[in-house]
Amino acid sequence: MYLLRHHTNWLRAIVGVMYFLLFTVLLSSSLFVSKLHLQVGEPSPQLITAQWSKDIEDKVKYTQDQDAAAKAVQPVYKPDDDYLTMLTNDLGKAFVALHAAATTTGDESVRLNKLKQTQPFTVLPDGILTSLMKTSPDALSAVQKIGGDIILSNARNVNTGARTDVDVAPLRDRTQSDINQSALQDDAKVFFKAFVEQELTRPTLTVDEATTEKLRAAARALVKQDILPYKANQKIVGPGEIVDKEIYQVLDAYGMINSLNTWKAASGIALLVFLGIGIILAYLYQYKREILSLTNRSVLIGLTMILVLAMGRGVISLNLGGPDFNSLSGVLIPVAWATMTVAILVDVEVAFLVSVVLAFFVAVLVDPTFSTSFGLQTGLVALFGGFAGVYSVSRLSQRSDLARAGLFVSAMNVLVVSAIALTTGMRLMVWVVGLILGIVNGLASSFLTVGALHWFESGFRITSSVRLLELSNPNRPLLKRLLMEAPGTYHHSILVGNLAEAAAEAVHADATLVRVGSMYHDIGKLKRPYFFIENQFTQDNPHDKIAPTLSSLIITSHVKDGLELAKDNKLPQQIQDIIAQHHGDGLVSFFYHKALEENDEIPEEAFHYEGPKPQTKEAALVALADNVEAAVRSMKQPTPGRVEGFVRKIVKDKLNDGQLDQCDLTFQDLDRIAMAFVRVLTGIFHSRVEYPELPAIRENGNSVSAKKSLREINQEKGDISHDDQQAPVIDNS
């Protein structure tokens, strides 16, 4: 057993790695197959033509024209406030020193020497300095204002100021000329000209970057973009011809150029695939471990996802007549087919998770580099369509539900496509095409589900609700035989199905499986139908002529006979399990007690069913319903109170006998089951109104004197059965 489990784990690991590689190849194949690895200046390896008609914007020339327009814009200048502030401060320092020399008393030579320590007094003659020192403070302030205004007005003016180093000398000359023409005294003119010569040494204007950039942006905006018109099948570049910038941009516009590192991008996709598979496996391990333990279920999940992505690879390669229409091709990917298949054959909750992961994979498939919004849009359609598919088959009860599921998916696709169209401002014609593709997707998903369901069921040995519905058809060979050869057993099975189905709904079991399992649970009685009380329509009972041990053997053998018939008719394993387990290893008490009357030492083991005990809720429900229906049928006065008490006693006896030990029914479940049985049985064995006797009836003009009740007349017509004429129950069925 350990070696078998060990090899199974290795097999699962190999299958997981195989799926990982297949997913990665499918999602990243477009990076290697449909893209050209070309650079500007390289020769083309083949003749490349336009795939469809397209007006391509000449981005290369457009960029060049924009740059030229921006360069043509002259920069806007503004005063260099930092430098002009420094000039003002230096001028102020000079006049502070001059004020100090003029107002200080003492030796004149000392004051001159101290004044010469400040620029520009170091270069001025002593006579000029002496004259300046004799100027009154008020006059010095007026001189400072006049000279400073002349210097700053020339330096700050955007027309006269120095923009570059070349403009500094003309600025100095212009400023000194204005000083000469001013009303200043000669000594003041000499001072200011010396100050200008020494301090005005760099440009006084700087470029106004913000204003200049606005003007350049406006100039770029005025540039019109040239269009390169290409027709379908028009040559773009021939073999061996050099790919220049213009050709490169055309190839890139058609999506033929892969400018990324292909292997690097493929590695990223592989990581995303690993995360997607990991999320599914982690969910199964944490919440659905019973599914993870079934290799066929896990393989089926991966296979459906692979098939959908393979279809998607072919779908997105379709040419729908233009880039806008081609971007919608991903809407055709039938994700809902995979999610509906998983919901029907595996589990609804798992199918919702598969919808999320598969929608993400579809988005990567459509746009593996995430360079456009097409992948996101297609992923949204896949996500909501997948959810709609799962929801529409989550309570599948008849085959027509699959057809309605296709309509439901189509409606969801229409809504999502419309939402995308309204959000992105999609053209009306493109919108209409998207709606058509969404409807086709929904219908195709439904058709694929119906067509592939049988093959998935057969290949993976999984029984779906659709298969069970097919088996419940009364025209199935076994059911027709049961109706014709063992009509009592047939009607008993129908009643058992009604009881078990009501109980299954009460405890959230598989109601469809329970109903169909009930219809087939007693097919083994077809081998010897008249040995079972419900098929004995005469007073002769064959068990009266044989030994109790042989009777017990005949009764118990109907389980083994039923399994043989089920295998011959290829009934699903779940139905076979119900057939094998619906009596567990219980005792055929009637014949055992009859045998004890003849021999009190007879072993009890010869009167037990072979088992096994019910292993699932569904098998236990059929077993309980089987016993309850047969027992209640034998009651002479089945009032509601007596029926409920009898039902609870039977359930309790089964529990005490250990027949329910191996299924996962709780005490609360057993109470709900009993109440469900009582509701159904009360409807079947309801009390009837006793009709009064009728007056004399005339027939053909003659009076009938015999008084008959309406009940007696109906009995003569066969409208009322004689349940009280039944013989004792034999095998509790």
Q: Which uninterrupted H or E stretch holds 194?
A: helix 186-199
Alpha-carbon distance values, 423 to 65, 383, 418, 709 (Å): 33, 18, 8, 77
pLDDT at 687: 56
pLDDT at 36: 63
In the chain, domain spans: 2-34+260-462, 38-53+231-255, 77-207, 483-697
Phi, psi of 161 (to 5 degrees): -70, 165
Distance CA 63, CA 34 (A): 28
pLDDT at 132: 80
CB under 8 Å to 478, separation ≥6 — which residues?
Answer: 520, 523, 526, 565, 569, 571
Reference 479, options 556, 571, 401; nearest CA is: 571
Distance CA 361, CA 312 (A): 10
Residues of the chain with pLDDT under 50: 1-6, 694, 696-733
pTM, entire model: 0.60
pLDDT at 119: 82
Average pLDDT, the chain: 83
Distance CA 733, CA 731 (A): 5
pLDDT at 58: 77
State the fold for domain 483-697: Hypothetical protein af1432 (1.10.3210)
pLDDT at 539: 63
pLDDT at 248: 80
Phi, psi of 264 (to 5 degrees): -65, -45
Instruction: For 272-285, write each residue's pLDDT tens digit.
Output: 999 999 999 999 98
Q: What is the dihedral of CA 182, 188, 193, 198, to 10 degrees?
A: -150
